[in-house]
């Protein structure tokens, strides 16, 4: 009689979990691209100094093999963390389009990105940036708001300050540029408009103040007529209230709004009064929000290339991290007028 002891029982067959797919190596990328592995390594370190044809071949090989560099192994080998940080003056609001442009650039260049929101004002933010810089965990820092110290004098890691926002995440610098208002008024005047209304945003914002200033200066310089400036918040309700409270005999045929929400409120308010847009009233917004593109009528506006702002800032920071010359950034505005359906030739004053 055979032994039936448990230790002599035949082993049970168990289902094995499928092995994870093997990661491609840098040598396989090099073979597929027809270059050396040193060239591929240089591609991921710099993505510059290579011939365009070489970069294209490596791009194609990386995509085909779904290759991702092993950043942990690189950090252990080179004692570099490959981590960059963006410091924001708030933990509750993130400028998504700017950060999208920054993140895409960072990843294309072989780095990782960390977002750090710091509440408490410039003193707290500056102290936190010093701590991050001295931690040894980050190779470069981009601060979107001013600091109390000279960032260029910090020797541990490069620190780049753009000053795009203040302590309350209100746009500054290029984001507060009001010069496109002049282009808006010139365009509308070319369509025959002579009497304007400006629905302004909160004057605590540099962007709102600058747009109002350019509006008033342009109206005066072109000898046009302004019925007035209506201040308020950024919401559509302020735009709606501004236009519905306008006297029927105001003579206004064009409204310049400080953002798209205000402009859409103006459009809705005009329609509620029986005024056609743009036949009776032309309306111009600012920001090129997605909803304005699909509204009826589609909103004329100012598109702000915040992605470019993020890309340019990160390219400068990465150059500083690598000890390379700062890239030349073309001197061009972030803003572009987008003409859609809410603007047209002046026919008659609204309501007449």
Among positive and negative, which fits the CA dihedral 200, 203, 205, 208? Answer: positive
Ranges of each domain in the chain: 26-69, 81-169, 174-305
Query: Distance from CA of residue 176 to its chain's centroid?
Result: 14
225-230: strand order across its sheet: 225-230, 195-199, 254-257, 282-284
CATH 3.40.50.2300 describes domain 174-305:
yes
Average pLDDT, the chain: 85
Encode pLDDT of 140-184 as tens digits.
999 988 899 988 876 689 999 887 777 666 677 777 788 999 999
- HSE of 245 in the Cβ direction (CA atoms, 13 Å)? 13
Do 186 and 337 meet the contact criterion of CB atoms below 8 Å apart? Answer: no
CATH architecture type of domain 81-169: 3-Layer(aba) Sandwich (3.40)
Rg of the chain on CA atoms, in Å: 28
Token pair 């509006």: residue: 215
- Kindly report the length of the chain: 352
Encode pLDDT of 192-205 as tens digits.
999 999 999 999 88
What is the C-alpha separation between 288 and 303, in angstroms, rounded? 5
Residue 260: which pLDDT band, with cuts at 50, 70 and 90? very high
Calculated CA dihedral for residues 334, 338, 342, 344, nearest 10 degrees: 120
Evaluate if residue 71 carries a pLDDT over 90. no
Encode pLDDT of 309-334 as tens digits.
899 999 999 999 988 888 776 666 67
Beta-bridge mates of residue 283: 255
> What's this model's pTM, rounded to 2 decimal places?
0.69
For 277, the token pair is: 């847009």
Beta-bridge mates of residue 198: 229, 256
Do 238 and 264 meet the contact criterion of CB atoms below 8 Å apart? Answer: no
Evaluate if residue 68 carries a pLDDT over 90. no
Calculated CA dihedral for residues 52, 53, 54, 56, nearest 10 degrees: 90
Evaluate if residue 8 carries a pLDDT over 50. no
Largest interatomic CA distance in the chain = 115
| Fold agreement between 81-169 and 174-305 | yes
> Shortest CA distance to 106 belongs to which of 144, 60, 139?
139
Evaluate if residue 270 carries a pLDDT over 90. yes
């Amino acid at each position: 009689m055979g032994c039936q002891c448990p230790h002599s029982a035949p082993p049970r067959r168990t289902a094995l979990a499928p092995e994870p797919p093997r990661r491609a190596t840098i040598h396989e990328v090099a073979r597929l691209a027809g270059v050396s592995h040193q060239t591929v390594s240089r591609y991921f370190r710099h993505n510059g100094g290579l011939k365009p044809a070489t970069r294209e071949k490596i791009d194609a090989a990386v995509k085909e093999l779904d290759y991702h560099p092993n950043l942990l192994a690189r950090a252990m080998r080179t004692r570099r963390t490959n981590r960059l940080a963006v410091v924001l003056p708030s933990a509750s609001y993130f400028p998504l389009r700017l950060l999208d442009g920054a993140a895409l650039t960072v990843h294309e260049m072989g780095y990782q990105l960390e977002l750090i929101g710091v509440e408490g004002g410039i003193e707290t933010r500056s102290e936190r940036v010093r701590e991050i810089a001295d931690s040894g965990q980050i190779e470069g820092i981009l601060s979107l708001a001013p600091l109390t110290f000279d960032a260029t004098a910090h020797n541990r890691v490069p620190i780049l300050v753009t000053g795009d926002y203040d302590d309350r995440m209100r746009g500054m610098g290029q984001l507060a540029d009001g010069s496109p208002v002049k282009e808006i008024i010139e365009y509308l005047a070319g369509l025959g408009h002579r009497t304007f209304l400006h629905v302004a945003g909160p004057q605590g914002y540099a962007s709102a103040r600058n747009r109002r200033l350019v509006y008033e200066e342009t109206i005066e310089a072109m000898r046009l007529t302004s019925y007035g400036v209506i201040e308020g918040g950024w919401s559509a309700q302020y735009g709606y209230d501004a236009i519905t409270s306008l006297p029927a005999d105001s003579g206004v045929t064009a409204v310049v709004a400080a953002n798209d929400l205000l402009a859409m409120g103006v459009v809705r308010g005009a329609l509620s009064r029986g005024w056609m847009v743009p036949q009776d009233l032309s309306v111009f917004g600012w920001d090129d929000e997605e909803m304005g593109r699909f509204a009826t009528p589609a909103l004329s506006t100012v598109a702000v290339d915040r992605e470019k702002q993020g890309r340019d800032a990160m390219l400068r920071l990465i150059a500083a991290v690598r000890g390379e010359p700062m890239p030349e950034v073309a001197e061009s505005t972030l803003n572009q007028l987008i003409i859609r359906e809410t603007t047209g030739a002046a026919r008659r004053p609204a309501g007449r």
